[in-house]
Structure 1
Amino acid sequence: MHNMPLSPGEAERAPLSRGKSFALLALIILLVEVIPLAYNFVTPALPEIAKHFGTANVGWVITIVTLVLAASTPLVGKLGDIYGKKRMMLVSAAVFGAGSVLAALAPTFELFLVGRGLQGAGMAILVLAYGLIRDILPPSIIPVAVGFVATGMGASTILGPIIGGYLIDHFGYTGVFWAQLTHVAVVGIAVAIFVPETTLRTRSKLDVLGAVILGLGAFVLLFGIGKAATWGYTAPQTLLCVGGGLAVLAGWLVYERTPKEPLIDLQMLRHGPVAKTLAASGFVQFVLVSHSMLIPMFVMTDPDLGLGYGFGVTALAVAVYTVPTGIVSMIAGPVGGYFTRRIGPAPVLVFGGAALSLGSVLLATLHDSTAQMMFGQLVIGLGLGSATATLPNLIMRTVPAQTQGIAGGMLNLSGSLGSAIGSQMMIAIVAIPGVVLVGRAAQYSEKGFVYAFFALAVSGLLAAVMGLLLTRNKIERQADVAVPKSEMVA
């Protein structure tokens, strides 16, 4: 069988039938599904994890994943360019599996978080999957294939809470981690056997120091935010951690001017539409991850505790509140894409951010019944689908084609940082009115959740403001954004 040479800069690939192409795509998608399931399986388990380990710092269960993912994704993407994307996908899958085992067996919360951190490092699979699809599948089906990857991840937001809830109710929180191990092991073996490796290799330099500085600065900052409720919001150690973290991050920005291939292109950040789009991504992901944490904690709380909220539902029943949000989001995504083509991406971002803000206000003010909660949830789903669908279109239209890989990586990085900050800030915010210990579990007051939902409303509003500012720009591919000498995949 002869290979089919393509245009310069692309991999040579063997001709594939349409059926085999979609079979390979299905395997890649199944492996990528470890990413959303690492969130959707675990968020309903947060109350049980907090109770098991006797900790109020349960926000770190989500924070550590997004933090490690943000720092490791650009490095893993480059390693895929150097050594092969399939090879690095399998390495990432093995790291994810090791993290799943450690999280399931960890005797202490600290070791549990190490396991979650390993899962975060393994979740860099996504950036490799997009590259592998581009390299091995026929060019004619690549746009459809990329769409299937996004759809598959959307479907898991519906199935994840249902399957995860069942596992938690019947096997405890460890059940979701054994399920993740089984998933990544079975699919990983199938990918190793059937999916071909890309023939494309590029020389690239790894900005390991940049990733370490970024991770350290973000960790110290978020550690200070997470401990603020315990130490005091104006305590010296809180101010030291927050100030120190910000100082390290400032130093990281200075350092990023020196490597030939940095984690981010600071020159690109000086281009207004790019900076606004990245900021909007951070605000949207802040809402997405924080919202997915707050809802299970809220609805699973026993109303008999007298805290003024909660429905006392099981982990499986949490799906009643989250699945409709996922369905609306999946519908709003393609609809948002349609309107992006008709009226441009910036107005769609304005609508999505406004819907996120309105839905969060509704959750803050109307949460005494399931019907009231569902109304806010549906509005949130409308905002998430619209906003997340338009952000990639915005970044693609604001940079030249040659730098879209770099810009896409920066979009992922800003979103990951927004997720990490959001998950940690939510725990700090809900604890502001005080924490009540019931047994070994920390319980929060209704006022704390109200504050948290209003914080999500502010973040959604800021995303809408970024959209309004972008409507003043001519959102097209700009020629004035510098193109680096070597392309970085992130």
Structure 2
Amino acid sequence: MPLSPGEAERAPLSRGKSFALLALIILLVEVIPLAYNFVTPALPEIAKHFGTANVGWVITIVTLVLAASTPLVGKLGDIYGKKRMMLVSAAVFGAGSLLGALAPNFELFLVGRGLQGAGMAILVLAYGLIRDILPPSIIPVAVGFVATGMGASTILGPIIGGYLIDHFGYTGVFWAQLLHVAVVGIAVAIFVPETTLRTRSKLDVLGAAILGLGAFVLLFGIGKATAWGYTAPQTLLCVGGGLAILAGWLLYERTPKEPLIDLQMLKQGPVAKTLAASGFVQFVLVSHSMLIPMFVMTDPDLGLGYGFGVTALAVAVYTVPTGVVSMIAGPVGGYFTRRIGPAPVLVFGGASLALGSFLLATLHDSTVQMMFGQLVIGLGLGSASATLPNLIMRTVPAQTQGIAGGMLNLSGSLGSAIGSQVMIAIVAIPGVVLVGRAAQYSEKGFVYAFFTLAVAGLLAAVMGLLLTRNKIERPVDATAPKSEMVA
């Protein structure tokens, strides 16, 4: 029986060569977690260097561009080749890293971060390339290695990034990212084969543009609310205008044959609840990664009532335990997902996020107290992250799991973008103190922020509770009678 193009391409690969190619793909995908883990410890220095209180945009712009570009890049990979688009994405990421290192002002620096966000859409291409070129027998293991590699970066990233920041300044992490993506990108170009599989697909460029514009206008208004006033006309105009554009985007998404999101799928209760939970979990994840360095690196001698005055490298003491616990909790959460179902695991994960955030809001006077709260958060992140993909796979039929997975990534990216901007607005509510060119926040502002994250964790747990009522046991079969479909 003749082999399909994909099978013919995979057949000659030995097991050893397959894992060597997988290692190169994983190393290239590592640009994604490092773009966060390298940069978050540098946020205080970036704010001081550029004299800005809008440091939240350093994270927001990345997640915003990533959310809008991922569906487009995935389809471009199907049309022109996944390896080719991976290399294009790597080049875009490298250009963003170079601009981040050389930018003379904050505006150009954010352009560089936006380019990095566009390049980070590489993950959706990596999964597709693995599926197309590796032997089918090792694909499940290969996908697991990709996730494990990204988890390992949450441990090593803050350590390496902290060292670079302490010795070379914030620009050191951007030069390191440029070197990494250049070296690995060249290796991928030389050794990794291209898939011969191609599909015809239509790009919803207008939909992505409307989504990006609406989210940007909304988040810009939220970010400026403290300076302008929460009821100022310009604040209300930006927030209202952003919401109106997003509402228009939802209406527009009814028209393309291949939209960014499937509105019919959103009408399925379990899908909408899972996407909401993903947004809340990513809201907590990105917000914590921003707040912790800002909190612990603050000099206690400033008399603000908080801070330990640690170096960028020492921030790893507070963040690495979270990554370790998260990596352990992920497989354990997967085990319990198989035993008791994904919804109860999501409840546990969301409740752990809420408890950890509550502990940080109320107990943050010592390193031990901070680390305890961070450990509980790591438990929640690992559990919730492990169960969300399983929830999606159990709530949609097999033929639409790719679309649902893209929607899950989109909701997570939007949650991250909203979280990074909302947190800066909340910590600034009690007031901002300028120390030199750097903005410093009050202890009360951080307490407000951590309590907000506790609420977000609780909302994720509530989504899990609502999903337990759906009794999700198997994927919905689109051909099944309505009486058999999950509500």
Please classify the TM superposition score into its range, dividing by the shorter chain length: over 0.9
* Residue pairs, 1:128-207, within 5 angstroms: 128-207=125-204
Give the superposition deviation at 1:363. Answer: 0.2
For the 8 Å contact 1:430–1:452, the answer to whether it is kept is: yes
Q: Partners in 2 of 1:36 and 1:321 — Cα distance?
A: 17
Q: Partners in 2 of 1:141 and 1:120 — Cα distance?
A: 30
Give the superposition deviation at 1:474. Answer: 2.6
Q: Partners in 2 of 1:486 and 1:92 — Cα distance?
A: 45
SS of 2:190's equivalent? helix
Give the superposition deviation at 1:16. Answer: 1.1
After superposition, the CA RMSD in angstroms is 3.0
SS of 1:9's equivalent? helix
Give the superposition deviation at 1:100. Answer: 0.3
Give the superposition deviation at 1:300. Answer: 0.1
Q: Partners in 2 of 1:342 and 1:389 — Cα distance?
A: 14
For the 8 Å contact 1:363–1:373, the answer to whether it is kept is: yes
For the 8 Å contact 1:11–1:135, the answer to whether it is kept is: no
Residues matched between the structures, number: 487
Give the superposition deviation at 1:57. Answer: 0.1
Q: Partners in 2 of 1:489 and 1:100 — Cα distance?
A: 46
Please give the TM-score of this superposition, normalised by the length of structure 1.
0.97
Give the superposition deviation at 1:14. Answer: 3.7
Give the superposition deviation at 1:487. Answer: 24
For the 8 Å contact 1:6–1:12, the answer to whether it is kept is: no
For the 8 Å contact 1:392–1:408, the answer to whether it is kept is: yes
For the 8 Å contact 1:36–1:157, the answer to whether it is kept is: yes
For the 8 Å contact 1:405–1:487, the answer to whether it is kept is: no
SS of 2:5's equivalent? coil
Give the superposition deviation at 1:137. Answer: 0.2
Give the superposition deviation at 1:149. Answer: 0.0
SS of 1:436's equivalent? strand
Give the superposition deviation at 1:486. Answer: 26
Q: Partners in 1 of 2:160 and 2:237 — Cα distance?
A: 42
Cα 1:370–1:336 change in 2 (3 A) is same
Give the superposition deviation at 1:365. Answer: 0.2
Give the superposition deviation at 1:15. Answer: 2.0
For the 8 Å contact 2:470–2:486, the answer to whether it is kept is: no
The runs of 5 or more residues in structure 1 that have no matched partner are none
For the 8 Å contact 1:405–1:488, the answer to whether it is kept is: no
Alignment deviations for residues 359-408 of structure 1 (CA, whole Å, 9 cap, x no partner): 00000000000000011000000000000000000001100110010000
For the 8 Å contact 2:476–2:486, the answer to whether it is kept is: no
SS of 1:442's equivalent? strand
For the 8 Å contact 2:349–2:383, the answer to whether it is kept is: yes
For the 8 Å contact 1:78–1:489, the answer to whether it is kept is: no
For the 8 Å contact 2:394–2:476, the answer to whether it is kept is: no
Cα 1:181–1:319 change in 2 (3 A) is same
More deviation, 302-311/478-487: 478-487
Cα 1:481–1:113 change in 2 (3 A) is farther
SS of 1:291's equivalent? helix
For the 8 Å contact 2:472–2:486, the answer to whether it is kept is: no
Alignment deviations for residues 457-484 of structure 1 (CA, whole Å, 9 cap, x no partner): 0000000000000001131444465999
SS of 1:443's equivalent? strand
Alignment deviations for residues 276-333 of structure 1 (CA, whole Å, 9 cap, x no partner): 0000000000000000000000000000000000000000000000000000000000
SS of 1:437's equivalent? strand
Q: Partners in 2 of 1:52 and 1:184 — Cα distance?
A: 25
For the 8 Å contact 1:5–1:12, the answer to whether it is kept is: no
Q: Partners in 2 of 1:328 and 1:429 — Cα distance?
A: 28
Q: Partners in 2 of 1:364 and 1:18 — Cα distance?
A: 50
Q: Partners in 2 of 1:127 and 1:194 — Cα distance?
A: 20
Give the superposition deviation at 1:255. Answer: 0.1
Alignment deviations for residues 219-252 of structure 1 (CA, whole Å, 9 cap, x no partner): 0000000000000011110010000000000000
For the 8 Å contact 1:89–1:128, the answer to whether it is kept is: yes
SS of 2:304's equivalent? coil
For the 8 Å contact 1:278–1:411, the answer to whether it is kept is: yes
Alignment deviations for residues 176-216 of structure 1 (CA, whole Å, 9 cap, x no partner): 00000000000000000000001100000000000000000
For the 8 Å contact 1:5–1:13, the answer to whether it is kept is: no
For the 8 Å contact 1:65–1:120, the answer to whether it is kept is: yes
For the 8 Å contact 1:403–1:483, the answer to whether it is kept is: no
Q: Partners in 2 of 1:128 and 1:448 — Cα distance?
A: 40
Q: Could you tell me the percent identity over the aligned residues?
A: 95
For the 8 Å contact 2:395–2:486, the answer to whether it is kept is: no
Q: Partners in 1 of 2:348 and 2:294 — Cα distance?
A: 28
Cα 1:487–1:13 change in 2 (3 A) is farther
SS of 2:434's equivalent? strand
For the 8 Å contact 2:43–2:294, the answer to whether it is kept is: yes
Cα 1:346–1:487 change in 2 (3 A) is closer
Q: Partners in 1 of 2:176 and 2:479 — Cα distance?
A: 45
Q: Partners in 1 of 2:264 and 2:210 — Cα distance?
A: 20
Q: Partners in 1 of 2:483 and 2:135 — Cα distance?
A: 25
Q: Does 1:25 align with 2:22?
A: yes
Give the superposition deviation at 1:354. Answer: 0.1
Please give the TM-score of this superposition, normalised by the length of structure 2.
0.97
Q: Does 1:238 align with 2:207?
A: no
Cα 1:5–1:354 change in 2 (3 A) is farther
SS of 1:471's equivalent? helix
Q: Partners in 1 of 2:347 and 2:104 — Cα distance?
A: 46
Q: Does 1:219 align with 2:211?
A: no
Alignment deviations for residues 338-362 of structure 1 (CA, whole Å, 9 cap, x no partner): 0000000000000000000000000
Residue aligning to 1:397 = 394
SS of 2:10's equivalent? coil
Alignment deviations for residues 58-77 of structure 1 (CA, whole Å, 9 cap, x no partner): 00000000000000000000
Cα 1:229–1:29 change in 2 (3 A) is same
SS of 1:203's equivalent? coil
Cα 1:52–1:484 change in 2 (3 A) is farther
For the 8 Å contact 2:6–2:133, the answer to whether it is kept is: no
For the 8 Å contact 2:6–2:132, the answer to whether it is kept is: no
Q: Partners in 2 of 1:473 and 1:361 — Cα distance?
A: 29
Q: Partners in 2 of 1:349 and 1:140 — Cα distance?
A: 30
Alignment deviations for residues 76-120 of structure 1 (CA, whole Å, 9 cap, x no partner): 000000000000000000000000000110001000000000000
For the 8 Å contact 1:158–1:326, the answer to whether it is kept is: yes
